[in-house]
Structure 1
């Protein structure tokens, strides 16, 4: 990414105008709007105005505030998790698995803990996929086992062992009290305890609130954020399990 100093854009280039939204435990009245403006000022918005306020139940109000900030963004200091593997077509994925692995690549997927939001994992695994792109069930050289929602970690480990999984994909949408982080750490610890390193499946997690740079901290091999496509996941699995470790996985 090229360097450069930029400011937010609102009405005119570089005017520093931004829009933020939040909920405060206050009634939807003038005093509540004053509280929203006080918070906006402490956030660095000056001047600021409340452009929307709506009661969200008794004693709670949702606000949208528009205002100017003086903060600058240094593009040279932005750090992101870049894709470090080639993006392959379904045909290329199938050919590599068939030629190099010489058996089906087994993928077990689930939503763990109390998370019942299967839209993300279904978009990646189910043949219908997302936005016109087929899911991993469409790949003839992949065998997909979708365990669904609210799967306990011990059950996931046992399923992965029984299916001889090459990779485990976990989707986490619920983030209250960092549930997605706690669940991921619990899962990675369970797999480390249950299986030796050379027999452990690849651990991949995804969800809209994950920081893709936290894989090492959470004990998993890869994190995928919002907007991830089935092709990206399939390409990564081939890259990690076959292209980078051909001998180890062929002998598995």
Structure 2
């Protein structure tokens, strides 16, 4: 079956749950001046239902609402949609390289490069969230896998958070980086896309085309199909493990024959 519908209470019932915030107050005041739910709350909930209906949810029910300060309200709406999903038309980025063990990665790098493979990583712009980059680089790793610092034949330089693009380029040049890994968690106003495009443009300007390091970005809001549009070599989304990244680096920098 390639045609599916959402599942809520029973198979194929089309029920979904949606959360959002509206710039509407749900707090009124009683005769004593204390906050209380009143007309404002009814208007806000009515607006939430109107939005849900326009999005194709019918019937829709507000199952939760909470004031977010004096002028905003957070809603959870539960309702039915009639839309179908055709899984045969879903586009995904297939992994086109084998997954290697740390031992295989080390052997491939040592045999092909006869030196350590240099990886420089960090969070660029104002992004101060290092959880993603640390999960990939730090020896503690993620999902039961040790990070790239564990790999004997990899030299890892973790620049941490809030690294400017010029700083990243300068350090990559100083370390003679083979690959640059960037994590972006902050996504307000598409900051992750803007920062990535700025980074890729800076590396294209700073390096001859055949000498530029491999550019890899990752984060929970990235679309893996956007690598070409963003000017990078690979985009990894949430759930990526250190082993996947290490195997990709070997595949692209060492060669398919050696990696196999």
- TM class by shorter chain equals over 0.9
- Residue of structure 1 in register with 2:4 after alignment: 6
RMSD: 1.1
- Residue of structure 2 in register with 1:199 after alignment: 211
- Offset at 1:127? 0.4
Local SS of the residue matching 1:151: coil
Distance in 2 of aligned mates of 1:86 and 1:184: 27
Gaps in structure 1 of 5+ consecutive residues: 247-252
- Residue of structure 1 in register with 2:46 after alignment: 34
- Residue of structure 1 in register with 2:174 after alignment: 162
1:148 is matched with which residue: 160, 166, 172? 160
Gaps in structure 2 of 5+ consecutive residues: 27-40
Deviations 1:12-38 (A, max 9, x none): 000000000000011121111100000
- Residue of structure 2 in register with 1:250 after alignment: none
Number of matched pairs = 244
User: Does residue 1:23 correspond to 2:35, yes or no?
Assistant: no
After TM superposition, where is structure 1 displaced by more than 6 Å over at least 4 residues in a row? none
2:78 is matched with which residue: 49, 61, 66? 66
Deviations 1:51-85 (A, max 9, x none): 01011111111100000000001111111111111
- Residue of structure 2 in register with 1:229 after alignment: 241
Distance in 2 of aligned mates of 1:55 and 1:90: 50
Which has more radius of gyration? Answer: 2
Moved more, 27-36 or 207-216: 27-36
Distance in 1 of aligned mates of 2:15 and 2:136: 37
Distance in 2 of aligned mates of 1:52 and 1:120: 31
Distance in 1 of aligned mates of 2:2 and 2:114: 49
- Offset at 1:244? 4.2
In the superposition, the TM-score normalised over structure 1's length comes to 0.95
Map 1:38-57 → 2, pairs under 5 A: 38-57=50-69
- Offset at 1:220? 0.3
- Offset at 1:245? 9.1
